[in-house]
Amino acid sequence: MTTSKFATLPRSRQLLSSYSRLMSTASSTSIGSSMTDLPNFPLVGKNPDEEPPRVRFAPSPTGSLHVGGARTALYNWLIAQGARVEGDNDASFIVRVEDTDVARSTKESEASVLQDLEWLGLKWDEGPLTNGDFGPYRQSERADLYKSVARTLLDSGKAYPCFSTNEELEAVKEAQMAAGESPRYDGKWRDADPELVQQKIDAGDPYTVRFAVPKGARVVIDDVVRGTIAWDAEATVGDFILLRSSGVPVYNFCVAVDDATMGITMVVRAEEHLTNTLRQGLILDALGAPRPRYAHCSLILGEDQQKLSKRHGATSCNQFKEDGFLPDAMINYLSLLGWNDGTDREIFTRDELVDSFDMSRVNPSGAVFDMQKLKWINSNHLKMMSIDDVKPLVLEQLLKANVLKASGSEDSKERITVAATCLAKQMMVTTVDAATNAKAVLAYPLPQSFSDLSSVEPDEQKLIKSGAFYNVAKAIVHAYDAGVLPRPNEVNVMEPFEELNGNLIVEDNSVGGGTYAYPAAWKTFMKTLGKEMNLKGKELFHPARLAMTGVMSGQDVTKQMALLQLASEFGSAADLEGGLEVVPLEVRMEILRGFLETIPEEFRQVKVEEVKETEAKGGKGGSKEPRGSKEASSSQGSDAAADSSSDLIGSYEGPAFNSMDVRVGRITKVWKHEESDKLFCEEVDVGEDEPRQIASGLQPFFELEDLQDRKVLVLCNLKARKLAGFPSHGMVLCAGNEEHTAVKFCDAPVDAKIGERIWWGGDGVLPENMDEPAAENKFAKKKMFEKIAPYLRTNEFGVCEFLGKPIMTSSGPCTSAMADGGIS
């Protein structure tokens, strides 16, 4: 490590004697009186790089702990923890409170900063509230030490008193700036006449203590992050102040003394402190104390490339805590603001960070704080946590949001918290989402009257005006009135959330309970309703969901109704007094009944669709009955069930199956999309020179290992487009159930060839000359897949079919584990 050459300053014995008298008698600075009372510098004669790491985080208690300071604390903590993992038990992470700014420092701010460090899990080995051999750990409690060191520097001629007034200093500064020079102290009192100095002291004139920068001094450091940095000290700073005229030490003096006396081996801090290193290095060299190794990390920037501040949104750790972020997710994200482990990996547990972190991989470039990425990382950490681990955090948010009252029964609070956590677990970005979701589930936003329809979402307005809503909703009201609408089991309201073995369910496409439980009863009810009204899929479930919950999409209806029951029952801990809106089922049905009465006649039936005449069929035409009414089901139900595949083929008027370019592919690489919790990103070999990149919304249904190396069917003549920013060129075909809660792959036979095209010939025989698929532009423009998809299904045995005939490869038909499902 390079040190500055500290030249001996010319001072007469008389001048030194005068300064000694000055420092022992002047009350204005009250510096210690014994030259032999020298501090201990633990690293003298040692190489700091070879010693057990002693690192420090030194906050100023003038406000909250912000993300920049939190990252600095984290990096220091990781250094100490990493050394311990490698067997160096003498490594220490030190918290030192730098409260020399008397006007701005407060005990409240100090407590807040320490609480934030505790929340982040950055436990310190030495510092406030802990024991240590190098305390005290507040600069305000180390005044005697600073005076002693200042006395040492004065006695050795490396510092001197300065009687320049503010007016004199300002005049010198203005003259230097007018001459185009950098402002610095002119050295007026550096070699002053000792008799004049004594006269000023005797007169009680105020003075500061200035450090005498050696002539020709240079300071050179080998910064871990930024490499070699050098300063011409004399030209850069001039003689700077160590003690103010009030006797209060200045920041850089305190920092240098503290680093020396605490044996700090490495100083990791933000780049804005880089200029302080020059003064601190000069002081350390003057004291004969080894300099620690320095690492100056880049600033954290906002998206506008300016230093992150309050104007960019939340920046304090406490605010992130209030907003429902996890400490482990914050640690994970903060570590990545300037560091990586050399791979594309972005999700780390705390222990993995300790094992992986290395200051040599910290980047000197500015790091941009990306709130969306933090949310993505937080959502991933939430997914890794168990319900039991997340539950206390959700309870905290439910209480804060006035969903629950603190005085409510513990049993009710527990059950509502579990239900709210299970409902939101898969979609939570922060724990606040669980409370927000619970409030939405308990409310019922369906308007009182059709005239207020503008208050609901556009898709819901469209559904109601299409006529598809009225008859389904009316049937649900009739079922409620007749006492046959399934309702949560009051003896065990938690059924939808629990497997038979008692394990909690977090997947939205899975519900609990046995054959006679509420979820099973609801499924039977919906299936019967669908048959009676000749409806299925979205045409049935969207209107039913809107009628029950007031919105067209969301989580499983039975789970929502169970949470509603928990909040509505007698003795519930729901905070109704605090303003929580809870709309029980009976009230919902009355609102729904009143709303249905206001729907105009024109929106009470699905519009009648004319069947196009087809010349090839000799003018077969007519009209289809409207779906969604019992009248329609009586005239169509039996015919629909009896339709043969030949009838389907004969009446089909859409694009040819072979206009699609469906091929056998193999997923060679798969990973989770960085910003979407629904998308997988895949590279799929479909027999082309390069694998295709495809984004699939399959995260809610599969694990990564389910996709890797899997043989799949890929629709290849879709135009390339971006899904959540990822360029996707194709679609992996899957089969799903009517409720769209379960999805399975469409599988090619094991011996099907990668890249071979799937075909359909009606009779299952390979056509001699298979038609060329439609070009991508034409396929998209004419919405061919949208017209074909309703006729793509799996039969009761799971065989993939189009118009009731199998979809083939050269090795046999394609199949799926999802029987009687739709393919998309």
Cβ(419)–Cβ(436) below 8 Å: no
In angstroms, the CA 203 to CA 201 distance is 5
> What stretch of H or E contains 82?
helix 67-85
Tens of pLDDT, residue by residue over 140-191, are: 999 999 999 999 999 899 999 999 888 988 898 899 889 888 888 888 888 8
CA-CA distance, 536 to 87, in Å (whole number)? Answer: 64
Q: What is the pLDDT of residue 624?
A: 33
How confident is residue 630, by pLDDT bands cut at 50, 70 and 90? very low
Return the top range by mean pLDDT from 398-407, 421-430, 490-499: 398-407
Bridging pattern class, strands 792-794 and 159-162: unpaired
CA distance 270 to 505: 45
Share of the chain above pLDDT 90, in %: 55
Q: How confident is the model at residue 599 (pLDDT cuts 50, 70, 90)?
A: very high
More confident residue, 780 or 176: 176
For residues 490 and 809, what is the distance between their CA atoms, to the nearest angstrom?
A: 52
Tell how many helices (H) and how many strands (E) occur in the chain.
27, 27
Q: Tokens at residue 59, please?
A: 């906050």
Identify whether 136 is preceded by a cis peptide bond (ω within 30 of 0).
yes
Give the CB-side neighbour count of residue 291, counting CA atoms within 13 A.
22
The residue-averaged pLDDT of 308-330 equals 82
Whether 741 has a pLDDT exceeding 90, the answer reads no
pLDDT surpassing 50 at residue 16: no
Q: What is the DSSP string of 263-280?
A: T--EEEEEGGGTTHHHHH
Cα–Cα distance between 62 and 72 in angstroms, integer?
Answer: 17
Q: Are 501 and 569 in contact (CB under 8 A)?
A: no
Question: Which residues of 514-673 form beta strands (DSSP E)?
Answer: 662-672
Collect all residues with Cβ–Cβ distance below 8 Å to 319 and sequence separation of at least 6.
Answer: 64
346-355, 727-736, 791-800: least confidently modelled range: 791-800
502 has a pLDDT exceeding 70: yes
Q: Are 393 and 324 in contact (CB under 8 A)?
A: yes
- Give the pLDDT confidence score for residue 296 in this predicted structure: 94
Percent of the chain having pLDDT more than 70? Answer: 88
CB distance 248 to 100 below 8 Å: yes
- Residue 161, both tokens: 């008193």
Rank 17-31, 302-316, 331-345, 775-789 by mean pLDDT and report only the highest: 331-345
Contact indicator for 598, 461 with CB cutoff of 8 Å = no
* pTM for the predicted model, two decimal places: 0.70
Per-residue model confidence (pLDDT) at position 236? 84
Kindly state the average pLDDT of the residues 484-489.
93
Helix (H) or strand (E) holding 805: strand 805-806
Residue type at position 468: A
Instruction: Look at residue 519 and tell me whether its pLDDT is greater than 60.
Output: yes
What is the pLDDT at residue 717? Answer: 87
Query: What type of residue is 236?
Result: T
Residue 650 is predicted with a pLDDT of: 64
Across 43-51, average pLDDT = 92
Q: Span 105-115, mean pLDDT?
A: 93
Of the listed ranges 177-191, 218-232, 330-344, 541-555, the least confidently predicted one is: 177-191
CA 101 to chain centre: 35
According to DSSP, the residues that pair with 683 across neighbouring strands are: 669, 693
Sheet holding 692-696, edge to edge: 692-696, 680-685, 662-672, 711-715, 731-732
Find out whether 392 and 404 touch, Cβ atoms under 8 Å.
Answer: no
| Among 310, 527, 630, 782, the one annotated catalytic | 310
116: its two tokens: 């934030």
Read off the DSSP letter of residue 454: G
Has residue 233 got a pLDDT over 70?
yes
Q: For 675-723, what is each residue's pLDDT tens digit?
A: 888 899 999 999 998 899 999 999 989 988 889 889 999 999 888 888 8
Once rounded to an integer, what is the mean pLDDT over residues 303-314?
66
Average pLDDT, the chain: 85
How many Cβ atoms from other residues are within 10 Å of residue 656's Cβ?
A: 14
3-state SS track over 680-723: EEEEEECCCCCCEEEEECCCCCCCHHHHCCCEEEEECCCCCEEE
Exposure pattern of 3-26 as b/e (b: 16+ CB <10 Å)?
A: ebeeeebebeeebeebbeebbeeb
Tokens (6 digits) for 726: 């990822």
More confident residue, 580 or 632: 580
Flag the least confident range among 140-154, 438-452, 501-515, 611-625: 611-625
Stretch among 17-26, 81-90, 391-400, 786-795 having the lowest mean pLDDT: 17-26
> Bridge-partner residues for 362, per DSSP?
339
Residue 313 pLDDT grade (very low, low, confident, very high; cuts 50, 70, 90): low
Return the number of other C-beta atoms located less than 10 Å from residue 457's C-beta. 13
Residue range 784-797: average pLDDT?
87
Three-state secondary-structure class, residue 176: helix
Least confident of 136-140, 285-289, 557-561, 766-770: 766-770
Q: Are 86 and 42 in contact (CB under 8 A)?
A: no
User: What SS3 state is found at 537?
Assistant: coil
Contact 418, 497 (CB under 8 A): yes
pLDDT of residue 637: 37
Is the per-residue pLDDT at 315 higher than 90?
no
In this prediction, residue 113 has a pLDDT band, given cuts at 50, 70 and 90, of: very high
Ramachandran category for residue 193: left, alpha or beta (phi over 0 → left; psi -120 to 50 → alpha): beta
Whether pLDDT at 768 is above 70 = no
Tens of pLDDT along 220-231? 999 999 999 999
pLDDT category at 15 given cuts 50, 70, 90 is very low
List the alpha helices (DSSP H) in 569-612: 585-598
Mean pLDDT across 493-514? 83
Nearest to 522 by CA among 490, 476, 564, 453: 476
- CA–CA dist 645, 83 (Å, integer): 71
Buried b (16+ CB within 10 A) or exposed e, 83-109: bbeeeeeebbbbbbbbbbeeeebeeeb
What mean pLDDT comes out for the span 445-467? 92
Question: Could you count the other beta carbons within 10 Å of the beta carbon of residue 681?
Answer: 20
For the cut 70, the answer to whether the pLDDT of residue 615 exceeds it is no
Sequence letter at residue 512: G
pLDDT tier, 625 (very low <50, low <70, confident <90, very high otherwise): very low
Is the per-residue pLDDT at 1 higher than 80? no
Instruction: Report which of residues 644 and 769 the model is more confident about.
Output: 769
Tell me what the mean pLDDT of segment 330-351 comes to. 93
pLDDT at 607: 64
For the CA atoms of the chain, what is the radius of gyration? 37
Contact between residue 809 and residue 803 where contact means Cβ atoms under 8 Å apart: no
Q: How many residues does the chain have?
A: 824
Q: Residue 620 catalytic?
A: no
